[in-house]
């Protein structure tokens, strides 16, 4: 194997981290440089993640030894097909959001600080995804979280500060629970490397400690991922951030820090099957409760935030089934949700940018004035509600089929109910925002600038074509192999040690 | 036994976060939880009668404490510092806007 493949892995963390500090230094002196640097980094990481798809599918997981120390003593970064899958999602959305933010963030002062925090958050998420070490996971988790606390409070208005404080308290508690879990696992296995830990745990089976640690991780990652009953910080925190950040938080952060970390720890390290029914129950409850709370909302972004809870429920339901088809559906829904939820938040940002309001009752008839935003949000709404041929339909269909297949028709029924409620609440959004009569005070509004339109259209195209990922020729190296990695569980350890030799 | 003491301190911190209404007390609660965890980590590495893990070539030492948890909590302390600093900064900004530290009065966001 060529050397470049290994050295690529740390770039996913190092590049955004370096540029983030560079922007901090230079951003205030030269105005255009932060825009340019951030876009270049996002583009480079996006291309790199596409390159990684090809590399990782060929040869099993790639392992990079930090500082040349051999794991389990040294820290390693692991790039397997699940990591690659997440990396592609994270970096594609980041690129699109960056392009969107160039215009959108003109409304705020201190744009360079925004970019610095933005890249720091990206570094944290990429770090969580590629790391192969438990404590490193915690460190990157906190890097990503701390940057996101700052970004939620970016407007420094009363609501934003309050939401950020709430979010930060919850995030800190989640981090401490995860740290406690890691500490107990370390004292049990005497190692921090994930692959090594998986081996030790599978050898010493049948300890009560694993159960306790599982609960700690479920609380910790559940809080980060806004799983019911740990969801209530999310509807405050996500709408308070600027729109591009809402898109990042809802589309990526809760998945990279919550769902991905949960999958990685439970499937690859602990191999805990006892956790699966719990994940299904919690997933179904988040799914239903999230959507019921969403229907009554009148704030555009708050409504979307409640839907994030509901959609994370779908993902957890799919993953919790534990069957290959269920995991495939869950991961596919994760991909789709990142796309359409980011798009919806960008739409709400566009509406906010043009009209200065996100109250559904004040808006109306924007279809005539903002055709691009209106049609892209139509695509996203149909996607999230699960109408064919958009991507949301296919992943929900797989999850429901997998539920019935595994002998859980009740869960399947709840998934259908939640989907119908989702449709209802997005019909409300479309009716109040884009259809109906144009209010007089909005007669003068214009469509948003080109860069914002471009990112929305791009995401809408992905929503439209996303269903193609199910075609085996397209998904073989990407979606299917990621689902296989999850389904294989603790095979992860063997594969990592194999590729070290 | 001492492990349980750490757990009790952790629980006291959690109680402060959940039950107190003053923002500063909540922040202190989080710090208490952090310190309980740091102590727990050091205890994980402790060996009865162990000495510090500094080796010389000629020496053979049988009983040393585990240095790894100490390295870990150094990192954890730095992270805790960052979180605490940010939390206090936010608390100050909130006080400027609302004129109170009482979280039951800071309620602009409705459920």
Q: Residue A436 domain-assigned? A: yes
The mean pLDDT of A276-296, rounded to a whole number, is 89
Residue B90 scores a pLDDT above 50? yes
Q: Residue A461 domain-assigned? A: yes
Residue A492 scores a pLDDT above 90? no
Q: Residue A126 domain-assigned? A: no
User: Could you read off the pLDDT of A55-78 as tens digits, one per residue?
Assistant: 776 667 788 887 777 777 788 888
Q: In this complex, which of B34, B91, B108 lies closest to A176 when CB atoms are compared?
A: B34
Mean pLDDT score of chain B: 86
**Which residue in chain A has the smallest CA separation from B103?**
A162
In angstroms, what separates the C-alpha of B14 from chain A's closest C-alpha?
8
User: Could you read off the pLDDT of A218-253 as tens digits, one per residue?
Assistant: 999 999 888 888 888 888 888 888 888 999 998 889
Residue A179 scores a pLDDT above 60? yes
Closest CA to A151 of A115, A191, A97: A115
Beta-carbon pairs below 8 A across chains A and B: 85
* pLDDT computed for residue A58 by the predictor: 65
CA distance A363 to A436: 9
**Which residue in chain A has the smallest CA separation from B93?**
A161
The mean pLDDT of B85-103, rounded to a whole number, is 89
Q: Residue A38 domain-assigned? A: no
- Lowest mean pLDDT segment, chosen from A11-20, A355-364, A452-461: A355-364
Q: Residue A160 domain-assigned? A: no
Mean pLDDT score of chain A: 86
* pLDDT computed for residue A487 by the predictor: 80
- Cβ of A161 within 8 Å of Cβ of B82? The answer is no
The mean pLDDT of A12-33, rounded to a whole number, is 86
* pLDDT computed for residue B101 by the predictor: 84
Confidence of residue B53 (pLDDT cuts 50, 70, 90): confident
- Kindly list the distances between the CA atom of residue A85 and the CA atoms of A121, A430, B86, B91, in Å, as whole numbers in the listed order: 18, 32, 33, 39
* pLDDT computed for residue A440 by the predictor: 75
Confidence of residue B84 (pLDDT cuts 50, 70, 90): very high
For chain A, say whether B26 makes contact (Cβ under 8 Å).
yes
Give the Cα-Cα-Cα angle A92, A62, A69 (nearest 5 degrees).
120
CB atoms within 10 A of CB A397: 18
Q: In this complex, which of B26, B44, B98 lies closest to A186 when CB atoms are compared?
A: B44
Q: Residue A390 domain-assigned? A: yes
- When divided into structural domains, chain A yields a total of 1
Residue A1 scores a pLDDT above 50? no
The mean pLDDT of A35-54, rounded to a whole number, is 89
Decide: helix, strand or coil at residue A206: coil
Are A415 and A403 in contact, with CB atoms under 8 Å apart? yes
What percentage of residues in chain A have a pLDDT greater than 90? 26
Give chain B positions within 8 Å (CB) of A165: 23, 87, 90-91, 94, 106
- Lowest mean pLDDT segment, chosen from A176-180, A438-442, B18-22: A438-442
Host H or E run for residue A79: strand A76-79
Q: CATH classification of B1-45+66-111 is 2.60.15.10, yes or no? A: no
Are A49 and A91 in contact, with CB atoms under 8 Å apart? yes
User: Could you read off the pLDDT of B55-80 as tens digits, one per residue?
Assistant: 777 777 777 888 888 889 999 999 99
Residue B25 scores a pLDDT above 50? yes
């Amino acid at each position: 194997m060529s050397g470049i493949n290994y050295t690529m892995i740390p770039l996913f963390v190092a590049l955004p981290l370096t540029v983030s500090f560079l922007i901090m230094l230079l951003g205030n002196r030269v105005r255009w440089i932060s825009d340019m640097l951030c876009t270049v980094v996002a583009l480079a990481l996006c291309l790199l993640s596409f390159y990684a798809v090809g590399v990782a599918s060929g040869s099993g997981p790639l392992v990079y030894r930090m500082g040349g120390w051999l794991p389990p003593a040294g820290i390693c970064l692991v790039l397997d097909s699940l990591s690659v899958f997440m990396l592609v999602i994270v970096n594609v959305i980041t690129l699109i959001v960056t392009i969107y933010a160039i215009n959108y963030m003109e409304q705020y002062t201190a744009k360079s600080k925004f970019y610095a925090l933005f890249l720091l958050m990206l570094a944290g998420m990429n770090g969580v995804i590629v790391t192969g070490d438990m404590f490193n996971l915690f460190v990157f988790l906190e890097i990503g979280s701390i940057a996101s606390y700052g970004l939620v409070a970016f407007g420094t208005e009363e609501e934003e500060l309050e939401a950020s404080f709430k979010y930060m308290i919850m995030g800190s508690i989640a981090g401490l629970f995860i740290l406690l879990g890691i500490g107990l696992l370390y004292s049990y296995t005497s190692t921090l490397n994930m692959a090594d830990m998986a081996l030790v745990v599978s050898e010493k089976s049948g300890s009560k400690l694993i159960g306790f640690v599982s609960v700690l991780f479920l609380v910790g990652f559940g809080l980060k991922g806004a799983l019911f009953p740990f969801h209530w910080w999310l509807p405050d925190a996500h709408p308070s951030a600027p729109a591009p950040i809402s898109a990042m938080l809802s589309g990526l952060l809760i998945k990279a820090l919550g769902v991905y970390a949960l999958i990685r720890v439970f499937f690859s390290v602990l191999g805990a099957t006892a956790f699966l029914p719990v994940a299904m129950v919690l997933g179904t409850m988040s799914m239903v409760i999230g959507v019921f709370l969403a229907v009554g909302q009148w704030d555009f972004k708050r409504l979307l935030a409640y839907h994030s809870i509901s959609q994370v429920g779908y993902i957890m339901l799919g993953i919790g089934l534990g069957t290959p088809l269920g995991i495939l559906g869950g991961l596919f829904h994760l991909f789709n949700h990142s796309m359409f939820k980011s798009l919806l938040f960008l739409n709400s940002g566009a509406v906010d940018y043009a009209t200065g309001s996100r109250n559904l009752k004040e808006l109306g008839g924007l279809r005539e004035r903002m055709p691009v935003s209106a049609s892209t949000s139509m695509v996203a709404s149909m996607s999230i509600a699960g109408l064919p041929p958009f991507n949301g339909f296919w992943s929900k269909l797989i999850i429901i089929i997998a539920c019935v297949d595994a002998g859980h028709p009740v869960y399947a029924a709840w998934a259908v109910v939640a989907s119908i409620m989702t449709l209802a609440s997005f019909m409300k959004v479309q009716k109040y925002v884009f259809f109906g009569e144009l209010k007089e005070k909005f007669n003068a509004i214009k469509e948003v600038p080109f860069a914002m339109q471009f990112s929305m259209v791009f995401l809408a195209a992905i929503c439209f074509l996303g269903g193609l990922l199910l075609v085996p020729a397209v998904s073989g190296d990407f979606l299917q192999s990621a689902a296989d990695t999850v389904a294989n569980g603790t095979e992860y350890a063997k594969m990592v040690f194999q590729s070290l030799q | 036994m001492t492990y349980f003491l750490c757990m009790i301190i952790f629980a006291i911190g959690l109680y402060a976060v959940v039950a107190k209404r003053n923002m500063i007390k909540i922040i202190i609660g989080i710090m208490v939880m952090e310190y309980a965890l740091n102590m727990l980590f050091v205890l994980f590495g402790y060996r009865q009668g162990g000495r510090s893990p500094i080796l010389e070539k000629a020496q053979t030492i049988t009983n040393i404490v585990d240095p790894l948890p100490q390295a870990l909590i150094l990192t954890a302390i730095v992270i805790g510092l960052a979180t605490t600093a940010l939390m206090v900064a936010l608390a100050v900004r909130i006080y400027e806007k609302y004129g109170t530290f009482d979280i039951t009065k800071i309620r602009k966001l409705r459920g």
